[in-house]
Amino acid sequence: MIFIRLMKMKQTHIVLFLISISLFNCKEPFEVESIDFLNAFVVESTITNELKQQEVSLTKTYALDSQTLEYENNADIWIEDSSGNNYSFSQNAEGIYLSNQEFQAIENRTYQLFITTQDGKQYSSTQVESTPISQITDLYAEFITKSNGEKGIQVFVDSDNENSEAQYFRYDYEETYMVVAPEWTPTDIKLENPRNDELGRLEFDIILSQRLEQERICYKTDLSIGINQTSTTDLEQNNIERYPIRFLNEDNGLSRDRYSILVTQYVQGLEAYTFYKMINDLGSSGNILSPSQPGFVSGNIKSFSNESEKVIGYFDVSTVDSKRIYFDYEDFIDSGMVQPPYLYTCNIVELNYNKPFPFNDRIPMYSSVVNFDYNYVNYNGLNYTLVNPECGDCTSVASNIKPDFWED
């Protein structure tokens, strides 16, 4: 019953006659009994036609009430292709394995993933063939107004596949944006030597100095979350046009200074597409007309030793294409875009050190700087103006190392 799922009413105590109302009120937390946690092994890997160190990620399922991601470490991993090549992998980080050599998926070859876990269990994928090649024809951003009135910058992708057999596409993106601390000053503040004076009142030394590092302009990179897929099977032409990848609301500070998005298009086979789609459908709440049928989604990884063992995940071989664009709000000024606010709220405080007790602010000042890393803005001879680190020092939220690809 979907209707009940939509209901979030509070318990109401109505005269018993009004049954029709109280029908739907009874939704209470429930301790699920005797449900066995499924301890399964999760494989996520897409090798591509890019010449690079390919990656395999091995994780494990974790309990419903847990927040801790669990990794499968020390596994022995290799990939065999249909031409007899064997690529072995080594662990790079927790649960992440990189191929020892760079390689790329080649058209018309099949690839198979083999895994031996540290406790000796063996798994393999089915043989997966590389998919057709498809290019991102265009990646662009436009200032749009959605039908609900929401305004912002929409990143679209076009992919012309008139001459390709690619039909199933998965997209992910990596967005990098400049974080320019709005209240940054070249001056750093340090509070040293805290002590009590003869009356037991707090005293400390305020040391202002030049910042040693570049802490005004930083860069931050985020990965897309979730699965974004489309297919051309229901379209008359095998073209993807204006497929929405990322929407930045006009108030989203990502485009305040400079924003870059790298969109990667993976051409998938039907099986891989279906697997990802099922995972995605089950993760969303379903539409109002028909909720999704839940169930265990099996991928293309099987256990050697125990056929009935449940293994989650998919080994996919995809051709990829990626494109990067840069923009900031100024590119859309003509469309009415104004500079969005900074990503973080700035909390600017004026604090007095010199006035006699109890008219000074020494205790909050000391706490702000020492405990909360507040940054110096200025000193007007009477009060110190301080700001939270997100607004004074960009390294508190991002990295001050400019990425190699970055174009200003």
Partner 1 sequence: MTRQIIILFFFFVTHLVFSQSKSKSDSYTITFNYTPIKEAILKLEKETTFTFYFEEDWFDEKTITGAFTNESLENILDAIFQETPLNYLIYGNKVILSNNSVVFTTLPKGYFGEKNDSIINNPNPSAIDESAESKTAVFHKQYDNTKSSNNSKLITIGKQNSNSTNSYYNVRGKVKNATTNEPLQNLVISVVGKKINAVTDENGDYSISLPAGYNSIETILMGFKSSIKNVIVYGDGSLNFSIAEGAEQLNEVVIQADQNKNVRSAVVGITSLDVTTIKTIPLVLGERDILRVATTLPGITTAGEGSAGFNVRGGKTDQNLILLDDAVLYNPSHFFGFFTALNPFTTGSLDIYKASIPAQYGGRLSSVFDIKTKDGNMDKFSGEGSIGSVTANIAVEAPIVKGKASIMTGFRATYSDWILKKLDEESLKNSEASFLDGIVKYKHNIDPNNSVQATLYYSHDKFSISSDSLFKYSNTIGSLKWDHTFNEKNRGSLTLVNSQYKNEVEYDADANLNFDFGYKINETQVKLNMKYLFSKKHKFDYGISSKLYHVDPGSIQPIGPNSDVEPLSLQKEKGLESAIFISDLFEINDRLLLDVGIRFSFYMAMGPATQLVYQEGVPKDESSITEVNQYGNNEVITTYGGPEARVSFRYFLTPELSIKGGYSSTIQYIHLLSNNTTESPTDTWKLSDLNIKPERAQQIAFGLFRNFDNNNLEVSVEGYYKKMENILDYKIGADLILNENLERDLLEGEGKAYGVEFLINKKAGKFNGWLSYTYSRSFVKLESDIEEEQVNNGEFFPANYDKPHDFTAIMNYKLTHRFSFSANFTYQTGRPITYPIGKFNFANEEQVVYSDRNEYRIPDYYRLDLGVNIEGNHKIKKLAHSFWNISVYNVLGRDNPYSIIFENEDGNIQAYKTSIFAMPIPTITYNFKF
Residues 45-104 close enough to bind partner 1 by CB under 8 A: 59-67, 69
The distance of closest approach from Cβ of residue 191 to partner 1 in the complex, given in angstroms and rounded to an integer, is 36
Spatial contact of 406 and 400, defined as CB atoms under 8 Å apart: no
Least separation in angstroms between residue 389's CB and partner 1 is 26
Residues 6+ apart with CB under 8 A from 278: 297
Interface segment toward partner 1; rule CB under 8 A; list 3-11, 337-345, 363-371, 398-406 = 3-11
Cα dihedral 179, 185, 190, 196, rounded to 10, equals: -120
Q: Per CB under 8 A, does 21 bind partner 1?
A: yes
Determine, following the binding rule CB under 8 A, whether residue 270 of this chain makes contact with partner 1: yes
Q: Could you give the CA distance from residue 275 to residue 270 in angstroms, rounded to a whole number?
A: 9
CB of 400 to partner 1, least distance (A): 25
Q: Which is nearer to partner 1, 286 or 364 (CB)?
A: 286
The answer to the question of residue 290 lying near partner 1 (CB under 8 A) is yes
Nearest distance, CB of residue 150 and partner 1, angstroms: 9
- Within 13 Å and on the Cβ side, how many CA atoms surround 295? 8
Distance CA 313, CA 300 (A): 7
The residue from 105, 248, 312, 343 that contacts partner 1 (CB under 8 A) is 312
Q: Could you tell me how many residues of this chain bind partner 1 (CB under 8 A)?
A: 88
Piece in contact with partner 1 (CB under 8 A), picked from 74-82, 182-190, 284-292, 375-383: 284-292
CA pair distance 8, 64, nearest whole angstrom: 22
**Would you count residue 10 as binding partner 1 (CB under 8 A)?**
yes
Site for partner 1 in 206-265 (CB under 8 A): 223-227, 231, 233-234
Give yes or no for a contact between 132 and 113, defined as CB atoms under 8 angstroms apart: no
Least distance from partner 1 to the Cβ atom of residue 221, Å: 13
Stretch that binds partner 1, among 260-268, 275-283, 318-326, 377-385 (CB under 8 A): 275-283
User: Cβ closer to partner 1: 70 or 80?
Assistant: 70
Angle at 345 between CA 343 and CA 348, to 5 degrees: 135
DSSP assignment letter at 396:
G
Residue 4 in contact with partner 1, rule: CB under 8 A: yes
99 versus 167: smaller Cβ distance to partner 1: 167
Q: Which residues, 6 or more positions from 241, have their beta carbon under 8 angstroms from its beta carbon? A: 158
Q: Is 281 helix (H, G, I), strand (E, B) or coil?
A: helix
User: According to CB under 8 A, which one of 282, 346, 370, 397 is a site residue for partner 1?
Assistant: 282
Q: What's the closest the beta carbon of residue 315 comes to partner 1, in angstroms?
A: 13
Residue 132 near residue 165, CB atoms below 8 Å: yes
Least Å distance between CB 296 and partner 1? 5
Residue 263 CA to its chain's centroid (Å): 13
Asked whether 302 and 124 are in contact (CB, 8 A), the reply is yes
Detail the DSSP E strand segments found in 270-403: 301-303, 311-327, 348-352, 375-379, 383-387
Q: Which is nearer to partner 1, 23 or 338 (CB)?
A: 23
52 or 146: CB nearest partner 1? 146
State the Cα–Cα distance between residues 399 and 181, nearest whole angstrom. Answer: 12
Q: Which of 194, 244, 291, 341 binds partner 1 (CB under 8 A)?
A: 291
Q: Round to whole Å and give the CA distance between 106 and 89.
A: 18
Report 117-176 residues binding partner 1 (CB under 8 A): 146-149, 167, 172
